[in-house]
Amino acid sequence: METQPTPLEAAAAEWQAVLGPQQVLSREAASAAYGPDTTGIERSVPAALRILDPAHLPEVMRIAQRHRVPVYPVSTGRNWGYGSALAVQPDCVILDLSGMNRILHFDPEMGVVTLEPGVTQGMLADFLDSNNYPFMVPTTGAGPSCSLLGNALERGYGVTPYTDHFAAVTDLEAVLADGSRYRTAMREAGGEELARLFKWGIGAYSAGLFTQSGLGVVTRMSILLARRPEVVKVCLFSLKDDALLEPAIERIRTILGKLPGTVAGLNLMNRHRVLAMSAPYPADRLGADGLIPPALVEELGRQYQIFPWTGFGTLYGTRRMVAAAQKEIRAALKGVASRMLFLSQDNANTLRRVAGWLPGPAGQRLASTAATLARSLELAGGRPNETALPLAYWRNPAAGAEGARNPARDGCGLIWYAPLVPMRGQGARAYVEMVSAVTRKHGMEPLLTFTSLSDKLFDSTVPLLFDRHSPAAVEAAQACYRELIERGREQGWFPYRVTTSAMPGLSALTQDSQQLHERLRRALDPHDLLAPGRYR
């Protein structure tokens, strides 16, 4: 009696005919390629499809529908700290779109680029540099190998003038669960140029439905790029006393309200966070609770000249605009900030050279700080690099010593807690106390940053760093993350994005909005086969 193929086997045979056998990965190969994840969760990965041509996607989706096989698309799969390449639910076939990496159109006058999911920050930087186009890559700390489209669909943000990356998206195209195509109304009615230049289109705004959802596979996107300004500077300052946090936040709110555009953002990092980027992890000097003792944090702070809070801001504009903004910032932060510096790329490069001449440990520390400053200015100038990635390796310094860093592949344990926090001094203090208490309870170091999204709101990024090879440490990190979300929600702070493991819990918290989303999904994907469970 002939054995009938399983739905997956039947679908895989048809996918091989469409894509070619080499682009359909078996369970073993798919698990090796897409299974590692910094958050420590595990998912069964039955297969993976490498999509090299967007023309194949409609038939790929029709095959999935015929055989009732769930699929989960990823752009490059490097969503580190949020789930990497893993699906929300087990047994989803991964759709790897990283091979779709063409820059489809660029308008050198308007600075609008249209690209596919596999185009990374580094690829766009190379394209702009090779053609001497005076525009900036919308950089993030995730590094040059990460997708621009994927970050925008997660509604991510960065440090260049267009900090809100989906706000800079004007047009997109997607393949729906049944294989049909979505295009914006303005692109269909008014043409590609108008669609690239005008975000809102005409009629009901539907492009936003494809962000943080599983309603379609986005195959192309148009993004506005900021023109490279005459001057790019970073502002660095310190708060020498923790009690200065509240007045500093009030002053930062004033600065951002007065200088929109010129000051793209002002961020605050606690000493713990800066040490994680500056000093080796002191594994041999931990306390009985497995954490760095407060006295050691103070000692390392003195050694590395790191005060309780460090401020970092980015300024863009003409020389006169930036010079005027510097005066405004100095005046606004007078009596609160210490050691204020405004540095350009040339300043940082000079400091880097001078530091290399100084002997001894002090010279080495200054050289390391100068190198970090130079790379940070490159990032602020729209040139992607790996400046921020070593943070993921703080607890795992031996991994990733050679070649491009990949925290998921290299065994790093990282979960990002990223809640929105209103820009109010007292509320921010309560938030700091909550994060410190919860992280310490679960054996996590309280590494904390406030990143301004506007003059009204911070996003706070808290990296939970842990030993991913220890099941107990993985469970502690997951428990810490869950409690941070719960405790934060009770006090009015909630993430703007969550890990794949946290998505199933959202439906109980968002019942009214979920009713609409479920009605849309039933209409577009009645068998729930495209990214099931995503953000619901």
CATH number where 193 lies: 3.30.465.10
Amino acid of residue 212: Q
**Same structural domain, 90 and 238:** no
**Same structural domain, 316 and 220:** no
* Interacting residues of 180 by C-beta distance below 8 A, sequence separation 6+: 58
Establish if 520 belongs to a structural domain.
no
> Could you write out the three-class secondary structure of 288-346?
CCCCCCHHHHHHHHHHCCCCCEEEEEEEEECHHHHHHHHHHHHHHCCCCCEEEEEECHH
Answer whether residue 307 shows pLDDT above 60. yes
Domain boundary residue, one of 495, 511, 529:
495
pLDDT at residue 473 in the model: 96
**Same structural domain, 72 and 21:** yes
Number of domains making up the chain: 4
Answer whether residue 372 shows pLDDT above 90. no
Answer whether residue 367 shows pLDDT above 70. no
Answer whether residue 366 shows pLDDT above 60. no
Dump pLDDT digits (tens) for 101-120: 999 999 999 999 999 999 99
Average of pLDDT values for 27-33?
97
User: 206-210, 392-396, 487-491: which range is least confident on average?
Assistant: 392-396
Average of pLDDT values for 446-454?
97
**Same structural domain, 173 and 30:** no
pLDDT at residue 364 in the model: 62
DSSP state of 99: T
CATH number where 34 lies: 3.30.43.10
Average of pLDDT values for 143-160?
95
pTM above 0.85, yes or no: yes
Domain boundary residue, one of 96, 131, 156:
96
Reported as a pLDDT band with limits 50, 70 and 90, residue 465 is very high
Q: What is the mean pLDDT of the chain?
A: 94
Answer whether residue 365 shows pLDDT above 70. no
Q: What percent of the chain has pLDDT over 90?
A: 87
Dump pLDDT digits (tens) for 378-432: 888 999 999 889 999 999 877 655 678 999 999 999 999 999 999 999 999 999 9
pLDDT at residue 361 in the model: 66
Establish if 532 belongs to a structural domain.
no
Establish if 253 belongs to a structural domain.
yes
Dump pLDDT digits (tens) for 469-486: 999 999 999 999 999 999
**Same structural domain, 129 and 187:** yes
pLDDT at residue 472 in the model: 96
Establish if 509 belongs to a structural domain.
no
pLDDT at residue 401 in the model: 57
Distance CA 503, CA 482 (A): 11
Average of pLDDT values for 124-136?
97
DSSP state of 536: -
**Same structural domain, 116 and 205:** yes
Establish if 45 belongs to a structural domain.
yes
Average of pLDDT values for 26-37?
97
Average of pLDDT values for 279-299?
94
Establish if 312 belongs to a structural domain.
yes
**Same structural domain, 363 and 319:** no
**Same structural domain, 121 and 166:** yes
Reported as a pLDDT band with limits 50, 70 and 90, residue 439 is very high
Average of pLDDT values for 252-276?
95
**Same structural domain, 242 and 171:** no
Q: What share of the chain is helix, strand, coil (3-state, %, to 5)?
A: 40, 20, 40
Establish if 521 belongs to a structural domain.
no
Domain boundary residue, one of 361, 381, 401:
381
**Same structural domain, 268 and 127:** no
* More confident site: 507 or 83: 83
Average of pLDDT values for 167-185?
98
**Same structural domain, 138 and 217:** yes
Average of pLDDT values for 39-63?
97
CATH number where 235 lies: 3.40.462.10
Q: CA quadruple 390, 396, 397, 398: dihedral positive or negative? A: negative
First-last CA distance in the chain:
43
**Same structural domain, 361 and 481:** no
Give residue 438's domain range: 231-342+419-495
Reported as a pLDDT band with limits 50, 70 and 90, residue 196 is very high
Average of pLDDT values for 350-370?
62
Establish if 510 belongs to a structural domain.
no
